[in-house]
Chain A
């Protein structure tokens, strides 16, 4: 009742510390002496750093190529970094323009029925798909006030025979592509360990 009977006045921080101690003691008692709880703050810090690193690695790669048995890129000593452009993927099983599958290959070869004629090197499906994608990019560029160059990056399996590659390039050129790039895995010249296996 009277102020004299109270314990000596504690500061706010001291009272919090006291409460913490009491509450921890109480909790331990109620749980049956489990010991100190795990501090996951350090682990959280680590996880957040790893998460940021991985998000940056995934987001900063303009060539999102997932290599597998059907698609192995060639190694090269080129110094040029990839840029954002239309991608044409040639694997052992299919040809993609952007993300759209336009042609099915037979173990890396084009069926004659997919060609415009037996004499022609043009693949009509591929040509029209390229035209569509370039038109979409142009429309998008007009909206955001940016001009997209008509460049195609060809992501090509390293076993693809040249007649397939040439037909794809010719069809894409007929569809409006003005310049080509080939996607490769970079290796360092003089680095003997990173030779031609892929």
Chain B
């Protein structure tokens, strides 16, 4: 049957009314634009105090031991110590060059008078603590420890890659995050392409400014040292001390 003229005209005139959909979309888009966050979020996993303590006690039974690093963060700098008090570690508790009292070996590892890494020389007096602390020098000292020939293979094991932080009670969270950042991976200083580290590699290739007084700029410009043969699910970067533990002073609570 042929269609009537009226029916054809009605079909031709029938258009979808998009106005309500348009209205809804125009309301939804600004709403979602406000809600959406363009910053890329990440997380830092930390061990709890109790689990770190149990791991430490079980490790005590091992024969061959690597140091268990302990970094105290205070308003005059970083103090690095070994929770196992290995005699060979004493050399790494000596303050870095440029610090007050540099060259003096600490009498007791548990109570160092001077910080191992003191505040930045170029920091303004009224700068906040996060800008005063010398993260580049901390990184250099940690690389020295990591590249110690006798401990290198041990530090590659996950249970030995732990680094504990004890921040003072007033240290802001941002400082803790930065300290964890510099202790996570080995860096390739800007403009260099060092080989992957081995037990025989010296620390100099991986240290900022070749081990001399590094600046904050050296740290910011350095890139993570990357390995090519990456197993799926593993990080392509070479760990320095990638397992942070947060401890707190007993008195500070």
Contact = CB atoms under 8 A, between A and B. Distances in A.
Interface of A: 12, 15-16, 19-20, 23, 40, 43-44, 47-48, 50-51, 54-55, 57-58, 61, 63-67, 73-83, 119-121, 153, 156-163, 165-167, 169-170, 173, 177-186, 189-190, 192, 195-196, 198
A180 B46 contact: yes
A173 B252 contact: no
B223 to A, nearest CB: 4
Interface centre among A15, A157, A178 (most CB of B within 10 A): A15
A196 B35 contact: no
Contact of A159 (B40, B172, B246): B172
B42 interface: yes
Contacts of A173: 48-50
Interface residues of B, number: 62
Contacts, number: 197
A83 B41 contact: no
A19 B130 CA distance: 75
Given A66-B37, A162-B169, A19 B9 contact: yes
B12 A16 contact: yes
Contacts of A74: 173-174, 177-178
15 contacts: A16-B11, A19-B9, A19-B12, A58-B36, A73-B39, A76-B42, A76-B178, A77-B181, A81-B43, A165-B176, A167-B253, A169-B48, A179-B45, A182-B177, A189-B224
Q: Is the interface of A mostly helix, strand, loop or mixed?
A: mixed
A76 B252 CA distance: 26
Nearest to A198: B174
Nearest to B38: A57
Given A162-B167, A173-B48, 20 more contacts: A12-B3, A15-B8, A23-B13, A47-B26, A48-B25, A63-B41, A63-B43, A73-B39, A76-B180, A78-B43, A78-B184, A79-B235, A81-B43, A119-B253, A158-B173, A158-B174, A162-B171, A170-B253, A177-B48, A182-B177
Interface of B: 3, 8-9, 11-13, 18, 21-22, 25-26, 28-29, 32-33, 35-37, 39-51, 130-131, 167-174, 176-178, 180-181, 184-185, 187, 190, 217, 220-224, 235, 237, 246, 248, 252-253
A163 B252 contact: yes
Nearest to B26: A47
Contacts of A77: 181, 184-185, 224
Given A78-B184, A184-B177, A192-B220, A163 B8 contact: no
A177 B46 CA distance: 12
A10 B84 CA distance: 97
Contacts of A158: 172-174, 177
B37 to A, nearest CB: 6
Nearest to A9: B2
